[in-house]
Amino acid sequence: MEVNSCKKQLRANYRRDINKLTLEEVCQKSSIICRRALSLPFLSEVKTIGSYASYGNEVSTCDLLIQLLERGFCLALPMVNSQEHTMEFGMVEKLTELAPGAFGIMEPRNSRCCHPGEIDLFFIPGLAFDYQGNRLGRGGGYYDRYLSNVRADALKIGLAYQLQLVTELPVNSDDVKMDFIITEE
């Protein structure tokens, strides 16, 4: 099967599986994943973190974002321009600054754009990840385009439920690999 049609089928399968999770399961698993993310030893070596505002049944990042701000990290979240198919990261000082943006996902409003080179570490969502660090996103290519312009030493960490981790995913040449993947297991 051709890579793009294979990815399309996998997206539908993983979207279905993720949507089957109950609110209680999302909360429990996300809590463990976020605790693990906050306990990473190299977190003390970074200043600016790019993360995401969770949407639907994605790994919930609410507690993670609150903790990162409370610990004094500079926090940047995605801002999507769906007309131009681009994504930038905007600086966030308080979560109350967020408002629904493209696709209904909470985004920074009226915030300073963060240059890709400023971000030391990224927490990244996905529909599936494999053991080689490959990521299956939602299909818009926003993260792959953005991450292709970040510093080579910027850490890219996927946040996922164990059910999203697979042996191998189909990949294209422009897919950006993760350095680490954190699950509840």
Q: Collapsing DSSP states into helix, strand and coil, what is residue 12?
A: helix
53 close to 98: Cβ distance less than 8 angstroms: yes
What CATH number is given to the structural domain containing 117?
3.40.50.10420
Q: What pTM did the predictor assign?
A: 0.89
Q: Collapsing DSSP states into helix, strand and coil, what is residue 97?
A: helix
Q: Which tokens go with 114?
A: 């963060």
Q: Which of 56, 141, 63 shows the shortest CA–CA distance to 105?
A: 56
Q: Collapsing DSSP states into helix, strand and coil, what is residue 145?
A: helix
Give residue 96's domain range.
3-182
Angle at 83 between CA 77 and CA 87, to 5 degrees: 25
Tens of pLDDT along the chain (185 residues) come to 576 677 778 787 888 888 899 999 999 999 999 999 999 998 989 999 999 999 889 999 999 999 999 999 999 999 988 778 888 999 999 888 888 887 888 889 877 888 888 999 999 999 889 999 988 777 677 888 888 889 899 999 999 999 989 888 877 778 889 999 999 99
Q: Collapsing DSSP states into helix, strand and coil, what is residue 137?
A: coil
Q: Which of 80, 72, 126, 73 shows the shortest CA–CA distance to 101?
A: 80
How many domains does the chain divide into?
1
Q: Is 34 exposed, middle or buried (0-12, 13-18, 19+ CB in 10 A)?
A: buried
Q: Collapsing DSSP states into helix, strand and coil, what is residue 75?
A: strand
